[in-house]
Structure 1
């Protein structure tokens, strides 16, 4: 019994002590005793959430607000340069030139224009066909003209009326065209589309009957500009050739100096390609033609009756500058030329005219 009672007493004390340390303290306890007996319970913190993107920072009102810069003090903003235009291809310029030549011929009634409502493809086919007919008619005209020239020569050789200046120029033109017509026909059959390009870069290859009016004007203009450029740049060469002239005659052999034959060909509107031997042959043939043309001009006395186009052509063929030349000045230059060669013998035709070509510089 005694052992049981002692066990109960110890068990009771153990329970009291355990309850004291586990149970919640009463509200009547003083703060000092509570802080001494139990540690304070800290509140749980929430995890910080990182926001992306971060919110914009709001500037405080205390910071000064930036003032806008006056317009007068603002620096010009450099703008990026616009991309350069692509360079025009040379083929585009050739196409435009050919189209203008065809349009000009259509306006003059030489070529028949296409229908206004035709497509681009049909217009191209139409222009090609019209040019083919034009070239065919030009080649046919050279063939038909040959019979007329034979009749003129037969009349003059049989004691009839002498050859007039118009007939003489027709014979010379026919001679040049015959030398060109066969190569031209070969090109026309094989590569017809390159003929307008040849008229731009190599006009000497085309017969006179196969040139459109705009092509003819452009060819003559280029020859005149080339002659003017040569006269202004080859002054020392002119002076050197003048010193070799004797008794109003300059032999053709004097043009064997480098550059002399090329210069004279350019002044006379002759092709300058090839070697000097070929250039001298062209100069001799041209001056012989001019000698015969001078004789016909003097014999027919047609100086005052020449048309403006024929007068300018005659002056240009004798190496005169035609840019800015009036009709009266052209007549005066041609008269001076004819008066200078009127009394020269026929055997001095080339040397006398070559000397005149140098004298008037």
Structure 2
């Protein structure tokens, strides 16, 4: 630094900075002062000590209380009555629409019968399924109507405990899926028990006995099966367990005789040939034959039905061999069934009130959706 120049010193934030050097007033009066350009300190920058202290303060800073939800205003008696009446109205409308659909199906069945009588053609497999379903719905209709007009509140409980008493037109697709899942868990458990006890030396290639469509003669072959296994076969084929072993044998024999006639129509049906088959019909065909129809792709169901037809059409089976055919077609290790068991166990943990409320809610939402169209 030249003699006679006195720097001006500025104290800023505890630091010494030189901002300018001016000439001495006596020795360098005519020298132009020089300016030193310095950057200003950034206000956002802080020293490490300051950051540590800030972090420590924030660490021990008490948390602010969360905002509590405002309590909902309780419904008045009039509002509760209005909501209950609206729910009952939607339930009644849904089940009445199901009853009306039964009568519409009746008209369709009559038209098909008239066409078959005039043309002399045979019924298709799809038409026989419609006839069979409609006949079952008509048998269930009297009791269903009695409950509907007297104690309508029992109908959601029937979906849980007695779904076999409900007409097919009075069950939502979601409810049908839930019913089929419960059935599949029971069916798989019965198949596992049958697999444990079935005789491995049993010949599945024995020709069909004569007149196997007669229940008594067909039941004679099923007489070789122990009563415990008869009950498991009834579960596999979704037959009623009411009555003793003799009645269960007759139901199974009658069902197997129906399947023999049904297989010939199924082999040439549209559901086995169409690139986009009716999934509901595929599920129905599999359920009737003791084949899994839940969480299964349509092509997989069609492949299993094709294997069934290879056994029943290509190589005739005795009634006893046909009865145990679902055991042969099922796989020993089934991850889908394990997953279904977990779903059913989770659903069973819910109380009856919660399950019933879910069913009622589904029905009401479906009716509101139809109403908004």
TM-score, L = length of structure 1: 0.59
Instruction: Within 5 Å, give how 1:277-288 maps onto structure 2.
Output: 277-288=246-257
Is structure 2 residue 243 aligned with structure 1 residue 274?
yes
Q: Is the 8 A contact 1:312 1:322 kept in 2?
A: yes
Match of 2:168 in 1: 208
By how many angstroms is 1:267 displaced?
Answer: 1.0
Match of 1:199 in 2: 159
Q: After superposing the two structures, state which structure 1 stretch, 350-359 or 310-319, moved more.
A: 350-359
Q: Is the 8 A contact 2:222 2:320 kept in 1?
A: no
Match of 2:339 in 1: none
Q: After superposing the two structures, state which structure 1 stretch, 276-285 or 135-144, moved more.
A: 276-285
By how many angstroms is 1:349 displaced?
Answer: 8.5
Partners in 1 of 2:258 and 2:228 — Cα distance? 23
By how many angstroms is 1:218 displaced?
Answer: 1.3
Rate the CA distance shift 1:189–1:302 in 2: closer, same or farther, 3 A: closer
Match of 2:102 in 1: 142
Partners in 2 of 1:199 and 1:327 — Cα distance? 26
By how many angstroms is 1:332 displaced?
Answer: 2.2
Deviations 1:167-206 (A, max 9, x none): 1110000111111101111111221111111111011111
Partners in 1 of 2:146 and 2:95 — Cα distance? 12
Instruction: Within 5 Å, give how 1:178-197 maps onto structure 2.
Output: 178-197=138-157
Q: In proportion to residue count, which structure has more strand?
A: 2
Q: Is the 8 A contact 1:249 1:355 kept in 2?
A: no
By how many angstroms is 1:231 displaced?
Answer: 1.4
Match of 1:338 in 2: 309
Rate the CA distance shift 1:311–1:140 in 2: closer, same or farther, 3 A: closer
* Runs of 5+ consecutive residues of structure 2 not aligned to the other structure: 1-77, 210-217, 331-373
SS at structure 1 position matched to 2:268: helix
Rate the CA distance shift 1:312–1:149 in 2: closer, same or farther, 3 A: closer
Report the aligned-residue RMSD.
2.9
Partners in 1 of 2:312 and 2:129 — Cα distance? 19
Is structure 2 residue 206 aligned with structure 1 residue 247?
yes
Is structure 2 residue 192 aligned with structure 1 residue 232?
yes
Match of 1:295 in 2: 264
Partners in 1 of 2:293 and 2:170 — Cα distance? 25
Q: Is the 8 A contact 1:288 1:349 kept in 2?
A: no
Rate the CA distance shift 1:302–1:195 in 2: closer, same or farther, 3 A: closer
TM-score, L = length of structure 2: 0.57
SS at structure 1 position matched to 2:92: helix
Match of 1:153 in 2: 113
By how many angstroms is 1:315 displaced?
Answer: 2.4
